[in-house]
Structure 1
Amino acid sequence: MRHRTWKSLAALCGALLIAGTGQSLAAAPVSGSLARPAPEAPVRPLFPIAGQTVVLDPGHNGGGAAHTDEINAQVPDGRGGTKPCNTTGTSGDDGYTEHEFNWDVAQRVRDLLSARGYQVIMSRDSDTGVGPCVNDRGTLGNRVGAAAVVSIHADGAPAGAHGFHVAYSSPALNDAQSGPSVQLATTLRDTMVGAGLATSTYVGSDGLNPRADLAGLNFSERPTALVECGNMRDPGDAAVIESPDGRARFAQVIATAVAAYLG
């Protein structure tokens, strides 16, 4: 009885999730499982193993432009140098800001992963504050023992340049950067390509962009990657970035990639 009760409850939770959001990271159908659970079928939990923590880092912040002294303050860059605490980020030609896009997509990813049972920690809790600085963002995953860290951004290249790319710290500074971070970045790239998103035409190679200058990646001792979802200055990319459906699509793909990596 306890097995059947758990299966029924898990299936019911899955059905409510699908009905409430219109989308789910779980592909398995749930119809019919409440009425006639197969006694011989093994119990398969709906949620992943407890204890997996994911850090999401929506880049920049909405209050940065009004606090230039704070965001221009120099902080360590993770490679012996310094760089500004943060920047305001970019924006589309119509004024739609990157920090707003990053925050929107990160919340959607958080909700999708939380529905699967992952513990999700955000680097900021609103889109009206200042910071955190890039070095603090880079160490957050270390402090909470994250299984994966994903920083979410959009780019501001010239019009005509388009497509996404995924960055990871290179040359690697620790074992997490030399293997797991590359695997996470590759999984994100492959999942995005599989969803029909085009790789960058202007930076990196085949959607991957190893970088040494990003403190948020350099400080991490956990698997970490940064996704530039597209170019806000390109009309084609901007149309997707500024669309609620487009942002939902980015979130679904990122969440699916994180679950695939952790699986």
Structure 2
Amino acid sequence: MSYAGPEFEPPQNRRSRRRPLVVGLAALVPGALLGWLVYEAVGAPGGPGGTAGTAGTAGATRTAAVASPAPTAGSPSAGDDDKRPAGSPTPVPSTASAPAAAPRGPLTGKVVVIDPGHNPGNFRHTAEINRQVDIGTNRKECDTTGTSTNDGYTEARFTLDVARRLRTLLQQQGATVRLTQDGDRPWGPCVDERARIGNTARADAVVSIHADGSAAGNRGFHVILPASVHAGAADTRAIVGPSRDLGERIAGNFVRVTGSAPSNYLGDGTGIVTRKDLGGLNLSTVPKVFLECGNMRDSKDAALLTSGAWRQKAAQGISEGIVSFLRG
């Protein structure tokens, strides 16, 4: 009788027990020996022609399942383990799937909040964004839709893209980075909530990213600093000095990295403007500035703002300004 191993045809029906025991034993011994030889040559794990994955039995599978550790974050799932051949070693998770350790760098321990101005979904929620909120000096609408280029590229899309690029650069420097919104909510947040996010995080620096909607011919960037305000819920007196330092460092690095010039219509050529009518600045208790990266309504500035390569330079310039400020 030929041996029927687990990878061949199913075993034949047992011979009748009425046969003499001696005849059964005589047939079984050579058959078992032949089966062992076939198993060693074809199906044994690690044997010639065999792989670690094709010759498991139900018992071996159960043993491997018990011996294998429960899946953890970054490790193969239980389903993947079930597909692993019985008796094979537990695979080491690849570096691509394993959670990466937070990089250490000059900003390790620092918290930066990035505020992408407006929200791509604001235009669908006009009632919500038009609601008035208290900004200390007066009341103002919760948020606006922002501006756009003449070809329809919106400020909200621009600010979110730059914010994400900036987050990556700052995280590479070791910073803990939080965005006030990441395209993860239908509208907002309101300007008072944007300030509150930075305050609650006890951020070491907050940068609100925008693009202007001025007349054609008006070109360049400008940084908006908080004025000294002490009214209602607003008190910026403690952050006026450090915010100016932050803004000036960003302005200098922005010029150097992007090649863009300071605004030719605001700030008297310095690219620095101070305002007391912006709730995101008035209500901040941590160093914070706004950056208007260019004028979306000017065709030459719009060509820059719609360029991915230039947006990467913008993020780099902002990042280097923040690093300079936080390192002192």
Greater Cα offset, 90-99 or 136-145: 136-145
Residue in structure 2 matched with residue 197 of structure 1 by the alignment: 260
Cα distance, 1:180 vs. partner? Answer: 0.3
Preserved contact between residue 62 and residue 128 of structure 1 (Cα < 8 Å)? no
Residue in structure 1 matched with residue 125 of structure 2 by the alignment: 67
Q: Which has the higher contact order (CA 8 A, sep 6+)?
A: 1
Aligned partners of 2:185, 2:201: CA distance in 1, in Å? 24
| CA shift digits 1:35-82 (9 cap, x unpaired) | xxxxxxxxxx96125321000000000111011000000001132x10
Aligned partners of 1:255, 1:194: CA distance in 2, in Å? 12
Q: Secondary structure at the match of 1:222?
A: coil
Cα distance, 1:189 vs. partner? Answer: 1.1
Residue in structure 2 matched with residue 131 of structure 1 by the alignment: 188
Residue in structure 1 matched with residue 279 of structure 2 by the alignment: 215
Cα distance, 1:190 vs. partner? Answer: 1.3
Preserved contact between residue 150 and residue 225 of structure 1 (Cα < 8 Å)? yes
Structure 2 unpaired stretches of 5+ = 1-102, 230-234
Cα distance, 1:197 vs. partner? Answer: 1.7
For residue 58 of structure 1, the aligned residue among 116, 122, 138 is 116
Q: Secondary structure at the match of 1:176?
A: coil
Cα distance, 1:198 vs. partner? Answer: 0.3
Share of identical aligned residues, percent?
47
Q: Secondary structure at the match of 2:206?
A: strand
Moved over 4 A (4+): none
For residue 251 of structure 1, the aligned residue among 312, 315, 322 is 315
| CA shift digits 1:62-116 (9 cap, x unpaired) | 111011000000001132x100000000000000000000000000000000111
Aligned partners of 1:95, 1:115: CA distance in 2, in Å? 33
Q: Scaled by the length of structure 1, what TM-score is found?
A: 0.80
Residue in structure 2 matched with residue 19 of structure 1 by the alignment: none
Structure 1 unpaired stretches of 5+ = 1-44
Aligned partners of 1:197, 1:162: CA distance in 2, in Å? 9
Aligned partners of 1:249, 1:90: CA distance in 2, in Å? 21
Q: Does 1:95 align with 2:152?
A: yes
Cα distance, 1:252 vs. partner? Answer: 0.7
Cα distance, 1:177 vs. partner? Answer: 2.5
Aligned partners of 1:197, 1:166: CA distance in 2, in Å? 13
Give aligned pairs, total. Answer: 218
Q: Scaled by the length of structure 2, what TM-score is found?
A: 0.64
Higher Rg of the two aligned structures: 2
Preserved contact between residue 164 and residue 230 of structure 1 (Cα < 8 Å)? yes
